[in-house]
Chain A
Amino acid sequence: GAGVSQSPSNKVTEKGKDVELRCDPISGHTALYWYRQSLGQGLEFLIYFQGNSAPDKSGLPSDRFSAERTGGSVSTLTIQRTQQEDSAVYLCASSFKAFSGNTIYFGEGSWLTVV
């Protein structure tokens, strides 16, 4: 596609339920990033994938959070047993290569509300 695509765009879930957020990066981009933006907060790094290398998971806030990237393309961020503090916008981004000066392109985000 022309840009980074994320789904769902909005999700309301009950506390304790699991959610999956999907990211479809720009075709050909080998690097994929997940960030979180809470109300009134800056962007918080969660995880990134670069090609076939082991992902950098250093930003995941707890073991309830996990992410996969299948076939080097689509990525899914899974949040288990959601808590109210997980409510945020989850932003996905991609670039041609992480370890370079390439521009990073963001999707429009998945707005998660945990009630």
Chain B
Amino acid sequence: KQEVTQIPAALSVPEGENLVLNCSFTDSAIYNLQWFRQDPGKGLTSLLLIQSSQREQTSGRLNASLDKSSGRSTLYIAASQPGDSATYLCAVRHGSGNTGKLIFGQGTTLQVKP
């Protein structure tokens, strides 16, 4: 059974710092991995999608990496801003792709202090 874990559960940093959020999964046979952001009282916003054949994806100040063999992904946020404060969730889709089910981690709640 696939399990997704995110560490740390919460993180507080001063504005301007670079930071890394971690996501690990127990079954390396994933189809893809997606990082989302959730603001309080809101739905999820997709940030980055990494296919199983890819090693990383970048969007602006965000960089997500994927190491399937070790069951890990990281989300790197450069030059953090108070507007980055939110909960970040990673989710994996199982290996063959013939499922619509995403397995989510519990999320990392980030606070960036001005």
Contact = CB atoms under 8 A, between A and B. Distances in A.
Contacts of A59: 101
B41 to A, nearest CB: 8
For chain A, which range describes its interface: under 10, 10 to 19, 20 to 34, or 35 or more residues? 20 to 34
B49 interface: yes
Interface in A79-112: 91, 93, 98-109
A42 B100 contact: no
B106 interface: yes
B89 interface: yes
B100 to A, nearest CB: 4
B100 A56 contact: yes
B42 A108 contact: yes
For the residues of A in contact with B, the DSSP-based class is loop
A43 interface: yes
A101 B31 contact: yes
A101 B32 contact: yes
Contact of A99 (B34, B89, B97, B104): B97
A107 B43 contact: yes
A108 to B, nearest CB: 4
B101 A103 contact: no
A104 B34 contact: yes
A31 interface: yes
Nearest to B44: A106
B70 interface: no
Contacts of B31: 101
Contacts of B45: 106
Nearest to B46: A103
17 contacts: A33-B100, A33-B102, A42-B89, A43-B44, A43-B89, A45-B101, A45-B102, A48-B101, A91-B44, A99-B98, A99-B100, A100-B97, A101-B31, A102-B49, A103-B34, A106-B46, A109-B43
